[in-house]
Amino acid sequence: MIFSFLKKLRFFWISPYLLALPITALLIFLLPDIFRKYTSEILISRPVHKQGGFEYYADLNGDGTSEHIVLFNNTERKAAVKILGQNGFILDHFYFPGSTYHHHLETEWKV
Model confidence over 13-61: pLDDT tens digits?
677 887 788 889 888 888 877 666 766 676 766 667 677 788 888 888 8
pLDDT of residue 1: 61
E strand or H helix that includes residue 70: strand 67-73
Distance CA 52, CA 95 (A): 16
pLDDT of residue 90: 92
Residue 105: pLDDT band by 50, 70, 90 thresholds? very low
Model pTM score: 0.49
Model confidence over 62-100: pLDDT tens digits?
888 889 888 888 888 888 999 998 888 999 999 988 887
Q: By three-state DSSP, how is residue 10 classified? A: helix
pLDDT of residue 111: 34
E strand or H helix that includes residue 81: strand 79-84
pLDDT of residue 6: 67
